[in-house]
Copies of this chain bind each other. A is one copy, B any other.
């Protein structure tokens, strides 16, 4: 009906680059980045970003080229989140907890042209097992504030390189569907896959997260969450969108976090429950007197009643979200209803432990059976969680088949098994490959673990399927106890019996440390593999 012309006037590409442009204009003298004694205004930060972009351009980086960073949560990685896209190039922020072999794989697979690496991590690439023919330049970041631990590689040092560069004048004209970053998944098995984010998706997520947690220009965001995780759930861009302040953090340490929350007036941070447990159990937490409202966003596992209580006692607010690398970090949020505040603590914890509903900016979310039919919204029938919309990845880099497999039926398949509650909230039950099928019944290992976590002596637990003559599979619990705590196998089984159907209770319990990935994920497959040796099944 209408003329579709003049779209250049009324359609601007959705890109996080617009956020920096605006905050430079509106808040040039406001603190953009705090790192230890260092404080950069938006004017200074933006100039550093343009210097980095200029330096990268000088190194021959073209639109579409990949630029890798192996760096803790320090300012250079934040700068890269704007400088790399300014060239139309693609940021690859590598997980710093990977080993040399995994990092070499990512550098090779992404074909990165430039790598910037912190001295402390330089040994991981110093003798790379891959030949890396695309890698034209390696830049070493010497964090003088941290004493520049580790080693310098051949090639320029980051600060000198920036100082010598000509700041980029004219950013590349990006399209909103262009790839802004590739984030390699840290799966518990197999080679990592390169998850491609678009400018549009990054923009929408940054705004959507900001809207949900109430980011404003007075927000001060503390970097407890690694920036290499889904580009820090897009807070790298979201905090700049509102003109807030980034508080960088080289290494998570409870005392430092408490000190920063207190003295930098931190308003928001994100972290897995394990991070919160470390924080809340540290002696330093007793020093914390909140002078400004603090909002904590947690994912990866439901916050336990203990955590919820401790956060409440602190005077902070906690929000439970869920997502994957493939969904730019969070896709769902346990959206809170005001009337739930009136419920008893246990009931509130139960409601809060659900993964919830899509973010406002997120698209579809379903729980489906193998034929892509919705499972009944009964809170019991399990199915796979699938998503679509503006915060689903573009696909896996250079893996069209894996992309097609993940996107089969027109939805992204999370690999997570969950239920749909009658009120439209989802709750995860398991990873698809972790679920236990015992005598024909599905058992959610998460459900069993949640019960075991209620035992006061338990610090950590993983439940996996082990072989059983009669039932095929049965649950076994691997438990780490809290310091100075005691618990017997039978006591724990009895504890479960009082709270769970008999068939769901572990038939055996082992005590000890749990195997984990470099990012701290428990590697259930290792526990399982040991149990299934010789049974030719359940081996990943």
Contact = CB atoms under 8 A, between A and B. Distances in A.
Nearest to A25: B424
A26 to B, nearest CB: 5
Contact of A407 (B9, B208, B242, B337): B9
Nearest to A361: B207
A214 to B, nearest CB: 6
A22 B395 contact: no
User: Copies per complex?
Assistant: 2
A370 interface: no
Contacts of A7: 177
A286 interface: no
Interface in A189-246: 196, 198, 200-201, 207-208, 210-211, 214-218, 241-243
Interface string A327-344: 000000001111000000
Contact of A12 (B9, B27, B217, B389): B389
B210 A10 contact: no
Contact of A241 (B26, B196, B218, B360): B360
B1 A411 contact: no
A3 interface: yes
A320 interface: no
B403 A198 contact: no
A189 B214 CA distance: 42
A4 interface: yes
Given A9-B388, A22-B358, A214-B214, 7 more contacts: A1-B64, A2-B397, A7-B177, A9-B411, A9-B412, A26-B424, A211-B242
24 contacts: A1-B64, A2-B394, A3-B395, A5-B403, A6-B395, A9-B407, A10-B201, A10-B389, A10-B393, A10-B394, A10-B395, A11-B200, A12-B389, A22-B357, A25-B424, A207-B360, A207-B361, A210-B211, A211-B215, A211-B242, A214-B214, A214-B216, A217-B335, A243-B335
Interface of A: 1-12, 14, 18-19, 22, 25-28, 30, 64, 90, 177, 179, 196, 198, 200-201, 207-208, 210-211, 214-218, 241-243, 335-338, 357-358, 360-361, 363-364, 388-390, 392-395, 397, 400, 403-404, 407, 410-412, 423-424
